[in-house]
Amino acid sequence: MSGYMGNRWTPEAAHRWFERQPWLVGCNFTPSNAINQLEMWQAGSFDLATIDRELELAASVGMNSVRVYLHDLLWLDDAAAFLDRIDAFLTVADRHGIRVMLVLFDSCWHPEPALGPQPPPREGVHNSGWVQSPGVAVLRNPAEHARLEDYVRGVVGRFGQDERVLAWDIWNEPDNGPEVALCDPAALRAKADLVVPLLVAAFGWAREMQPMQPLTSGIWLGDWSAPDLLSPIQQAQTSHSDVISFHNYGIAEDFAQRVKWLKTMGRPLLCTEYMARPAGSTFQAILPIAKEEQVGTFCWGLVKGKTQTHLPWDKWENPNLEGLKEKWFHDIFDADGTPHDESEVAFLRLINRLDEVTA
């Protein structure tokens, strides 16, 4: 496993890149007929017609970018065909004026991914079929890591000079998983010992391919007000990222505070997950701050579908927001293109149109 990191972008280079972009407004995209990354991308269920129709919805509210998850098992199954499907996706996105952030690894939800037909959604359960990449067994087995290196090098090598790709998210929430839910410090330390070497190596594999796009991995937990408060995983994420990314599902004041903390790192900021209506993280609350502070934003979800992310997180409760009980948690449109909230869609079109006028 190579430890060579190449050259992380300087803050000046990162800001030069960021200044060439429009204000980035987008979503985390999974088509409505896919329960997870595998169903989205596998040959038997890859559906460009649905992707095209739903990316048109994203463009209709002024979105110019999407964040999309890949999976290492797709590379193992048929690397060449997988790359061709990514290329086809990028072509459709480009036709709608949308650039794509590609996510290589993910520690969220089910730890034992498997190729083939994916399970149906579990009734009433938010994101019931999402899978980790790599699975826990692979994460723990160094003998499997060579194929992970091939995957990273292969995908970044193919698309690292492609203008349709906006950025590379090396690893989504690498410190997520059962250990977080249990709040077990010993388990968290064990996870860091397992993940950090592979996370750092994955940054290195990607960087060795010399992509024109920046690399990042978003932090999401805890207090970021001082460098020594970051966990070992967060220190690895931020110290190897060209642009700093983060997740925030808090109210406007919390979002603004976290932006203030992260700006001390001296690099451009991307909020790669936000928007949970009952939590107070709404477009109307967050986007004006993000626009003023020049933070790129990617909400969670676009079209209500098999991920069921319109449903609340498990055991989610917020008794202070009684009026939002009937609101979807995430997602913007129903499968037929009907907005969940017409005023929300009008707001998105307004804030993005104003940005175009004043740019």
CA distance 35 to 29: 12
pLDDT at residue 202 greater than cutoff 50: yes
Helices (H) and strands (E) in the chain, counts: 12, 8
Q: Which structure tokens are listed for 37?
A: 């990354």
pLDDT for the residue numbered 1: 37
pLDDT band at 234 (very low <50, low <70, confident <90, very high): very high
- Taking residues 91-112, report their average pLDDT: 97
CA distances from 207 to 102, 159, 243 (A): 14, 13, 14
* Full-model pTM: 0.94
pLDDT tens-digit series, residues 294-328: 999 999 999 999 999 999 986 444 433 444 457 89
- Taking residues 106-116, report their average pLDDT: 95
Q: With b meaning 16 or more CB within 10 Å and e meaning fewer, what string describes 30-63?
A: bbbbbbbbbbbbbeeebbeebbbbbbebbeebbb
103 closest CA partner among 44, 2, 174, 181: 174
pLDDT tens-digit series, residues 146-187: 999 999 999 999 999 999 999 999 999 999 876 555 556 666
pLDDT band at 209 (very low <50, low <70, confident <90, very high): very high
Cβ distance 296 to 24 under 8 Å? yes
Cβ distance 168 to 213 under 8 Å? yes
pLDDT at residue 140 greater than cutoff 60: yes
pLDDT tens-digit series, residues 215-232: 999 999 999 999 999 999
pLDDT for the residue numbered 5: 44
CA distances from 11 to 25, 26, 58, 208 (A): 22, 24, 31, 19
pLDDT tens-digit series, residues 29-79: 999 999 999 999 999 999 999 999 999 999 999 999 999 999 999 999 999
Beta strands at 65-69 and 99-106: parallel, antiparallel or unpaired: parallel
**DSSP, res 192:** H
CA distance 265 to 17: 16
